[in-house]
């Protein structure tokens, strides 16, 4: 069988996340699999590099699927983009090695969280950013973020309830920038726990508004206590930007 590798971009506003659900298909994976099943007359499973949550977006999510279809790569991409909803697009396609696995082979992932820091919410970014009207202290946020870089147990920054799974992850970098009253937090790591970036960003906003000191991040991290960290922000501010292999 052929192993087809694709890059996707999508606005996740209308969807319940990446992973297909048993009772309905209003997910990115569901839309892709239903379309490919019709195109190939096969039962196609699409493997994604990340299982983005409800409302989360992707600039470049890598996926792969196996098929016996004789269609050319150009024909497959053209067919998919013609029949997919306008908020999902295949931006790249190639034949991959038989052993390529979009999730297992990924080395690091880069996510970006966008904060609209204007005094009033910009109507044109309301689906891709969260609004924080109080001006943020970027230097304080950067100082706090430094405590989170490295390999740690991030129990305080996840909603994962299973006690059997480890909360130990590695964050390679957290870059915080501000441009035209928008604040961007870019995270690179091997992988992230459920809702981890949304909770970390919510906690860093508390630092940026002066509610807690940067040093308090070290205490929250060491506590492994979710009740001490900040709020979990809406998924609409989060976007998967890049996957490195």
- CA distance linking residue 151 with residue 92, whole number of Å: 33
Alpha helices in the chain (DSSP H): 28-40, 73-83, 138-146, 196-208, 216-223
| Residue 3: strand, helix, or coil | strand
Is residue 53 annotated as a catalytic residue, yes or no?
Answer: yes
Task: Name residue 63's beta-bridge partners.
Answer: 6, 48
CB 131 within 8 A of CB 165: no
Say which residues have a Cβ less than 8 Å from residue 148's Cβ, sequence separation at least 6. 154, 157, 171, 174, 200, 217, 221
- The 3-state DSSP class for residue 222 equals helix
- Kindly name the residue from 34, 53, 87, 155 that is annotated as catalytic: 53
Question: CA 36, CA 44: separation in Å to the nearest integer?
Answer: 6
Q: Catalytic amino acids?
A: 53
């Amino acid at each position: 069988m052929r192993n087809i590798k694709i890059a996707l971009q999508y606005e996740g506003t209308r969807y319940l996340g990446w992973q297909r659900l048993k009772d309905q298909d209003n997910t990115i994976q569901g839309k892709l699999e239903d379309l490919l099943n019709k195109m190939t007359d096969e039962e196609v499973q699409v493997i994604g590099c990340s299982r983005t949550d409800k409302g989360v977006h992707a600039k470049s999510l890598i996926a792969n699927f196996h098929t016996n279809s004789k269609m050319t790569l150009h024909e497959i991409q053209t067919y998919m983009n013609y029949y997919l909803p306008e908020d999902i697009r295949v931006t790249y396609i190639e034949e991959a090695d038989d052993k390529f696995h979009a999730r297992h082979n990924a080395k690091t992932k880069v996510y970006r969280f966008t904060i609209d820091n204007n005094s009033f919410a910009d109507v044109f970014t309301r689906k891709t950013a969260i609004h924080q009207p109080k001006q943020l202290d970027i230097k304080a946020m950067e100082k706090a973020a430094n405590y989170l870089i490295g390999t740690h147990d991030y129990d305080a920054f996840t909603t994962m309830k299973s006690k059997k799974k480890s909360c130990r992850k590695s964050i390679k970098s957290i870059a915080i920038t501000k441009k035209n009253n928008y604040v961007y937090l870019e995270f690179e790591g091997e992988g992230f726990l459920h809702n981890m970036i949304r909770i970390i960003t919510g906690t860093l906003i508390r630092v940026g508004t002066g509610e807690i000191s940067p040093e308090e991040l070290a205490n929250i991290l060491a506590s492994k206590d979710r009740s001490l960290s900040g709020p979990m922000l809406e998924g609409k501010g989060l976007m998967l930007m890049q996957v490195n292999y």
